[in-house]
Amino acid sequence: MSNIKNVFDISGRAMAAQLVRLNTVASNLANAGNIAGSKEEAYKSIKPVFETKFAEHAKTSGLATVDAVEVKQVSAEPEKSFMPEHPQADSDGYVYKAAVNVDQEMVEMMEAGRQYQNNIEVISTIRALMMRTLSLGK
């Protein structure tokens, strides 16, 4: 798609971006509490980067949409805990817990869900208006 023409392009892309966000939340929550044997192996939460697309349109027509351009790993330190009896413990007896803030992820999930719903609402409203316009004069 090289251009945005109507609300289906705008809100459809935004929904795709929010879905990427929801997927990252799902991955983070699924890996919360995972234990690894070293700092490098430990899971670190991932976050999408949102960017306005067709910003050049915005100057003339006001239309712009959004894309999740990349997914980045957050530079958070995994939690180190002393569990020498753990099979994955390193030579000093430490294991590393995934660097996922569960509360933050839950808030993120709610926000992404809300915004996904907002976009659906926009599409369904405009679709209904378009259908009414098509039957104009009947």
Partner 1 sequence: MSGIKQYLDIHSQALSLRNKKNEIIASNIANAATPNYKARDLDFNMEMSRHLKTGKLTITDDKHIPLMRPVSHKGVSFREPLQQSLDGNTVELAVEQMEFSENSIRYSTTLSFLNSKISGLMSAIRGE
The residues that touch partner 1, with contacts defined as CB under 8 A, are 6-7, 10-11, 13-14, 18, 21, 50-52, 58-66, 111-112, 114-115, 118-119, 122, 125-126, 129, 132-133, 136-137
Min dist CB 129 to partner 1, Å, is 5
Which one, 6 or 88, has the nearer CB to partner 1?
6
| Tokens describing residue 100 | 């996922």
Min dist CB 28 to partner 1, Å, is 17
Which one, 45 or 119, has the nearer CB to partner 1?
119
Which one, 46 or 126, has the nearer CB to partner 1?
126
Which one, 7 or 42, has the nearer CB to partner 1?
7
Write the burial class of residue 6 (CB in 10 Å: 0-12 exposed, 13-18 middle, 19+ buried).
exposed
CA distance 8 to 53: 14
| Tokens describing residue 103 | 């509360």
Min dist CB 101 to partner 1, Å, is 18
H or E element at residue 6: none
Buried b (16+ CB within 10 A) or exposed e, 108-138: bbeebeebbeebeebbeeeeeeeeeeeeeee
Min dist CB 31 to partner 1, Å, is 23
